[in-house]
Amino acid sequence: MINWTEVIRRSNEGNPAPSRTVEKSDAEWRAQLSPEQYQVTRQAATERPFSSEMCSKFEPGSYACACCGELLFDGQHKFESGTGWPSFSLPAADNAIAYIMDSSHGMRRVETVCNTCKAHLGHIFPDGPAPTGLRYCMNALALAKVHD
């Protein structure tokens, strides 16, 4: 199971290979995504906190990348973090998420991207619940709810 030490190692040394890759031109991404989704996923923007109903919904199901449809999270690992963004404690697969050290905005943190299409998802922090202790703080615009 992934933990903070492994997240830091991957962000510095490299991530596992994805199961598949999806590459599209900028024009193709713009045509597929809403302007807001494009800003978040392709330009690493952050949506306003508490701007999505996804934060407070905890029904069964899975969450996929809004860009490529790759399964990213199972709803059973979603929790209320109080941050204003959907939060998860564990990805759906070990190679679903890639980790990148982010030193922007005068902070040092770890960015999370879809390992399949490199869409910006959000950031990860070491203050989540057991057993991982991780909080995947995701932009709702980067996720698509999949009803199982």
Cα separation, 59 vs 2, whole angstroms: 24
Cα separation, 90 vs 74, whole angstroms: 8
Q: What is the pLDDT of residue 60?
A: 83
Cα separation, 127 vs 109, whole angstroms: 13
DSSP result, 57-102? ---S-EEEETTT--EEEEGGGEE--SSSS-EESS-SSTTSEEEEEE
Active centre residues (catalytic): 137
This prediction has a pTM of 0.94
pLDDT band at 147 (very low <50, low <70, confident <90, very high): confident
Across the range 81-86, mean pLDDT stands at 94
Number of structural domains in the chain: 1
Cα separation, 140 vs 120, whole angstroms: 11
pLDDT tens for residues 84-116? 999 999 999 999 999 999 877 677 889 999 999
Cα separation, 135 vs 93, whole angstroms: 16
Across the range 30-51, mean pLDDT stands at 96
Check pLDDT > 90 for residue 55: no
* Number of alpha helices (DSSP H) and beta strands (DSSP E) in the chain: 3, 9
Q: What is the pLDDT of residue 109?
A: 87
Q: What is the CA radius of gyration of the chain?
A: 14
Check pLDDT > 90 for residue 13: yes
pLDDT tens for residues 59-78? 888 999 999 999 999 999 99
Residue 118's domain comprises 4-146
pLDDT tens for residues 127-145? 999 999 999 999 999 999 9
Domain of 68: which CATH number?
A: 2.170.150.20
Q: What is the pLDDT of residue 93?
A: 97
